[in-house]
Amino acid sequence: MSALAAMSPRPKGVVVRSGKANGFIAGADIKEFTKIRSPEEGFTLVRAGQQVLDQLEALPMPSVAALHGFVLGGGLELAMACTYRVAADDGRLSLGLPEVMLGIHPGFGGTVRSVRLMGVRRALELMLKGKPVKGARALAVGLIDALVPPEDLGACAKQLLQRLPPPRTPPFVDKLLNLGPVRPFLARRIAAALRSKVARRHYPAPYALLDLWQRYGAAGPASYDAEARSISALMCSPTSRNLVRVFLLQDRLKALAGKTASSPACPHLHVIGAGVMGGDVAAWAALRGITVTLQDRTAALVAPALERAQAHFRRRLQDPAAAAAALARLRPDVDGVGVRNADVVFEAIVENAEAKRALYARLEPQMKPGAILATNTSSIEIETLAGQLADPARLVGIHFFNPVAQMQLVEIVSGAATSPATAQRALLFTRQLDKLPLPCRSAPGFVVNRILMPYINEATFALDGGVPIAVIDASGKGFGMPMGPLELADWVGLDVCLNVGQVLAQAFQRPVPPVLTRLVGEEKLGRKSGEGFYVWRDDKPLRHASAQAPPEDLEDRLILPMLNEAVAALREGVIGDADLLDAGVVFATGFAPFRGGPLQYARDRGIGEITRRLRELQQRYGERFRPDSHWDALR
Ligand code: NAI
C-alpha cells in the first residue's frame, strides 16, 4: 500500500479485483479461526487486518473494488474500504457479512464502514441476519455504486475513477438515527426483536454488534478498536468454537462421498410409493435435474404427489420454463416401467416388512445390473428386508427425514450384507441431491431417531408427573433445541413416534410412554390430525402459558438421556465416530448448534459431571438414566 502511495508519477486511481473464477473473496479461511488460542492473540491479528484496510482507505488516490461472484466477510470489508464498488451482474454475485453464523461479527472495520455506507438500518440488517444479498438488492441498499454486465466490469471501474462522482451516503433519516441520544432507543427496539429469536447467553454475537453501534455510532478510531476487541473475545467463546466446529463438520459430511464422479451417480431414479416421503423425494430429485419415474398402486395415488411437486417447483424456481422442465422430468409410472432403466430404485411404501419384501421380490429381477435398491424405512433393519434378495449387497437404507425439502440430513444405512460399492453409490446419490449423508450401520432406530426418542419419551413422563406442557417445551427450547419435545412429537406425528418408540423399547428394554399409546388409540396423531399433545390450527399449536417454575432437574431430564443414548450408539459402533454422530444429530434434529452436538456438549460440561448427574436422575426416576458403560472411554 505504501509503495502505491509513493509511486511516481502517482496513479490516478486503484482498481482492486480478483482473478479467481468463483468470486472476489469468499471470506476468511475458517480453519484458521480454530488456531487462535486467546483473545489477545486474536486482537493482534484482527488489528493487523484492520490496519491494511485503513491504509487502503487512506490512499491518496481514489480506489474502486471490481467485484464478481462471492464477496463475503472480509472480502466485502475490503471492498467497503475502497472509495467505490462496482459489481458484475453474473448471476452468481453474492455480497454479505455472514459472520454471525459463526458466532462472531465483522472484524476488519465492517461494523463501522457498513453503517457509514448504507445507514444503520440496512447495515445492521445485513450483519444481524448474516444473509448475503444479490446484485440488484446490493445496488438498492447502497452497497455498490454500479451493477454491470461482466464484460463491462473493468471499463466501468475505470470510468468511475475518471468521473469521481460523490461517494454514496446513507439516507438522511439514518443520519438522525445514528445520533448519540437516539441510538439507545433504536438499539433497545432491535434488541427486543433479537431476543424473540435468539438468547444472548446462547448467541452473543448479534448483541455484541448492536452494543458496538450503540456505544460508538460507527465513528472514530475507538469504534475500530472496540470492534477488534469484541470479535477477538467472541472468537474464543464456546458458541463461536462450536459453530465453527459444526460448519467444519458439515464440510466433512459433504466430503464423505469423495470427489463427485464425472458422470452423475443417478441419472434416473425410480420411486415406489407416492405418499408423504416418496412423493417429496421424487419431487426433490426432479428439482435437482434427475429424471424420475414415480409409481404407486393407482394413478389416483400418484396425482397428489404431482400436484404437490408442481406447487413446489413454482415456489422454488422463479422461471416458469425451469419449473415446467422440472415437472417434465417427473413422470407418473403406475406400471413400473421405469424400474428397468433406473440407477437407483427407491422404495417408500408403507412401513411393513412383509409388504416391502414382497415388493423387492418383484423388483429385483427387473432391475438393471449395477442399479441399487434403496429403502426409506425408518425403523425396520436392513437385514430383515434383505433376507430374500438374490443379491442383498445392493440393498441400502437411504433414510430421508420429513419434510424432505427442509431436512438436510439423510442417513445412509448399511446392513450386514450391503456392499461398500452400494453404500458409496448411495453417498454420491445423496450429494447429487445436495443433501448431507450420514453413513451408519443398521441398528434399531439407526442414529437420529434413536437419539431423539429419549427426549420425547422423557417429556411424556414429566407430563405424566404433572409438569405442564408449556413448562416442558420451554425447557427444551431454553436449552437451545429448535422445538420443545412435545411440540416436536406432534410435528413428527404421534403414530410415527409410537412406532419408533416400540422398536426401541423392544431392542433396548425401554418403556413405551403410555400417553403415546393412548393418544394414538384415540387417533390424536398430532399436527396432521389436528390434535395431539396440542390442539393445532393452521399448522400451529395453540399454546397455554404457565406461570409454574420448571423443576430444577427438568432440563437435564430432557437432554441427558439423548447424550446417554448417543454414547450407547457409539459403543455399539452404529456410527463411525463421535464427530459424525454430533454432525448427524445437529443437522437432523437442530440440536442446539452453539453447543456443537450432544457429545461436544458432554465434553464441554465434563464427562464426570454428566455421569454424576445421570446417576442422580437414575436414583430419582429409574433405570432409564443409568449411565452407559462407554462414558469412561470418552474421558
Ligand atoms: P405414506 O403412507 O404416506 O405413503 C406410502 C405410499 O405407498 C402410499 O401412497 C401407498 O399407496 C403406497 N404403496 C403401498 N404399498 C405399495 C406397493 N406395493 N406398491 C406401490 N405403492 C405402494 O407413507 P410415508 O409416510 O411416505 O412413509 C413411507 C416410508 O417412509 C415408510 O417406510 C416410512 O417408515 C418411511 N418414513 C416416513 C417418514 C414420515 O415422517 N412419514 C419419515 C422417514 C421415513
**Spacing of C-alpha 292 from chain mean position:** 26
Cα–Cα nearest to 422, from 432, 412, 431, 407: 412
The residue to mutate among 296, 357, 379, having the most atoms of ligand 1 within 8 angstroms of its beta carbon, is: 296
| Residue range(s) occupied by CATH 3.90.226.10 in the chain | 2-236
| Residue range(s) occupied by CATH 3.40.50.720 in the chain | 268-442
Please work out whether the CB of residue 349 comes within 6 Å of at least one atom of ligand 1.
yes
**Spacing of C-alpha 135 from chain mean position:** 24
Please work out whether the CB of residue 359 comes within 6 Å of at least one atom of ligand 1.
yes
Across 314-318, average pLDDT: 91
Please determine, for residue 613, whether its predicted confidence score (pLDDT) is greater than 90: yes
Interval between CA 493 and ligand 1 midpoint (Å): 14
Residue nearest to atom 28 of ligand 1 (CA): 348
Determine the pLDDT at residue 258: 85
As a CATH number, domain 2-236 is 3.90.226.10
Q: Ligand 1 atom closest to Cα of 379?
A: 34
Determine the pLDDT at residue 629: 96
Tell me whether the omega of the peptide bond preceding residue 593 falls within 30 degrees of 0, making it cis: no
The C-alpha cell 433414510 sits at 399
Q: Ligand 1 atom closest to Cα of 351?
A: 32
How is residue 535 annotated by DSSP? Answer: B
Please work out whether the CB of residue 131 comes within 6 Å of at least one atom of ligand 1.
no
pLDDT tens profile 430-486: 999 999 999 999 999 999 999 999 999 999 999 999 999 999 999 999 999 999 999
Interval between CA 110 and ligand 1 midpoint (Å): 50
Interval between CA 377 and ligand 1 midpoint (Å): 9
Q: Ligand 1 atom closest to Cα of 301?
A: 9
Residue nearest to atom 40 of ligand 1 (CA): 402
Give strand pairing partners of 373. Answer: 345, 395
Residue nearest to atom 39 of ligand 1 (CA): 402
5 confidence band (pLDDT: 50, 70, 90):
confident
The answer to whether residues 245 and 313 touch, using CB atoms and an 8 Å cutoff, is no
Please work out whether the CB of residue 351 comes within 6 Å of at least one atom of ligand 1.
yes
Q: Look at residue 272 and give its three-state secondary structure.
A: strand
Q: Ligand 1 atom closest to Cα of 278?
A: 26
Interval between CA 338 and ligand 1 midpoint (Å): 19
243 φ, ψ (degrees, to nearest 5): -65, -35
Residue nearest to atom 29 of ligand 1 (CA): 348
114 confidence band (pLDDT: 50, 70, 90):
very high
Please work out whether the CB of residue 402 comes within 6 Å of at least one atom of ligand 1.
yes
Determine the pLDDT at residue 261: 61
Determine the pLDDT at residue 9: 80
Residue nearest to atom 3 of ligand 1 (CA): 275
CA distance 54 to 46: 12
Please determine, for residue 260, whether its predicted confidence score (pLDDT) is greater than 70: no
Q: Look at residue 337 and give its three-state secondary structure.
A: helix
10 confidence band (pLDDT: 50, 70, 90):
confident
The answer to whether residues 144 and 86 touch, using CB atoms and an 8 Å cutoff, is yes
Determine the pLDDT at residue 149: 97
Please work out whether the CB of residue 301 comes within 6 Å of at least one atom of ligand 1.
yes
118 confidence band (pLDDT: 50, 70, 90):
very high
The answer to whether residues 451 and 280 touch, using CB atoms and an 8 Å cutoff, is no
Please work out whether the CB of residue 253 comes within 6 Å of at least one atom of ligand 1.
no
How is residue 377 annotated by DSSP? Answer: -
Interval between CA 263 and ligand 1 midpoint (Å): 30
Please work out whether the CB of residue 496 comes within 6 Å of at least one atom of ligand 1.
yes
Mean pLDDT of the chain: 95
Give start and end residues of each alpha helix (H) in 217-298.
Answer: 220-235, 238-255, 276-287
Q: In what order do the strands lie in the sheet with 94-96?
A: 23-25, 70-72, 94-96
Across 75-79, average pLDDT: 97
| Residue range(s) occupied by CATH 1.10.1040.50 in the chain | 449-634
Give start and end residues of each alpha helix (H) in 387-447.
Answer: 420-432
What percentage of residues in the chain have a pLDDT greater than 70? 100
Across 326-355, average pLDDT: 97
Across 232-250, average pLDDT: 96
Please determine, for residue 275, whether its predicted confidence score (pLDDT) is greater than 80: yes
Determine the pLDDT at residue 432: 96
Across 133-160, average pLDDT: 96
Fold of the domain built from segment(s) 449-634: N-(1-d-carboxylethyl)-l-norvaline Dehydrogenase; domain 2 (1.10.1040)
Interval between CA 318 and ligand 1 midpoint (Å): 30
Across 52-67, average pLDDT: 96
Which of 21-30, 173-182, 248-257 shows the lowest mean pLDDT across its residues? 21-30
Please work out whether the CB of residue 449 comes within 6 Å of at least one atom of ligand 1.
no
Cα–Cα nearest to 579, from 606, 559, 600: 600
Please determine, for residue 125, whether its predicted confidence score (pLDDT) is greater than 70: yes
Determine the pLDDT at residue 556: 98
pTM beyond 0.75: the answer is yes
The answer to whether residues 324 and 353 touch, using CB atoms and an 8 Å cutoff, is no
Interval between CA 450 and ligand 1 midpoint (Å): 20
Across 134-160, average pLDDT: 96
pLDDT tens profile 499-538: 999 999 999 988 899 999 999 999 999 999 999 999 999 9
Right CATH for 268-442 from 3.30.420.240, 3.30.70.141, 3.40.50.720, 3.40.430.10:
3.40.50.720
Across 280-300, average pLDDT: 98
Q: How many CB atoms within 10 Å of residue 193?
A: 9
Q: Look at residue 418 and give its three-state secondary structure.
A: coil
CA angle 210, 216, 217 (to 5 degrees): 75
Please work out whether the CB of residue 274 comes within 6 Å of at least one atom of ligand 1.
yes
CA distance 92 to 70: 7
The C-alpha cell 491518496 sits at 60
The C-alpha cell 442399479 sits at 371
The residue to mutate among 335, 350, 381, having the most atoms of ligand 1 within 8 angstroms of its beta carbon, is: 350
Across 306-328, average pLDDT: 95
Interval between CA 283 and ligand 1 midpoint (Å): 15
Distances (CA, A) of 248 to 241, 445, 596: 11, 26, 11
Across 31-35, average pLDDT: 83
